[in-house]
């Protein structure tokens, strides 16, 4: 389903973030189990990290195991690397 503006123009619901991030990250909406979300937040607090950093790390590791990480996602710097 597409969202419409007051003028009636259709636009993609997640086409662009409201404001661009300087690190180039984009929005991805995923639905996760509530307990998993709580656990991720707790670990992020304990490790003084952002949840998205943990999810990115886990996603990259999973892609490497699947041997799909040869694309851009596999080449992106991890958070904090320069």
**pLDDT value of position 50:** 97
Tell me which residue range forms the domain holding 37: 3-75
Cβ atoms 26, 40 nearer than 8 A:
no
Q: What is the number of domains present in the chain? A: 1
Domain presence at residue 15: yes
- Does a structural domain hold residue 82? no
pLDDT at 15: 53
- Does some domain include residue 10? yes
What was the pLDDT predicted at 25? 92
pLDDT recorded at residue 19? 83
pLDDT at 73: 58
Question: Does the structure show a pLDDT above 50 at 82?
Answer: no
Is 53 domain-assigned? yes
In a domain, 63, yes or no: yes
- Encode pLDDT of 29-43 as tens digits: 999 999 999 999 999
Please say whether the beta carbons of 12 and 27 come within 8 A: no
């Amino acid at each position: 389903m597409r969202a419409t503006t007051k003028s009636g123009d259709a636009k993609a619901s997640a086409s662009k973030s409201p404001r661009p991030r300087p690190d180039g990250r984009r929005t991805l909406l995923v639905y996760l189990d509530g307990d998993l979300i709580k656990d991720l937040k707790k670990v992020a607090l304990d490790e003084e990290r952002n949840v998205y950093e943990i999810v990115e790390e886990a996603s990259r590791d999973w892609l490497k195991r699947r041997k799909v990480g040869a694309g851009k996602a596999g080449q992106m710097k991890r958070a904090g690397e320069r």
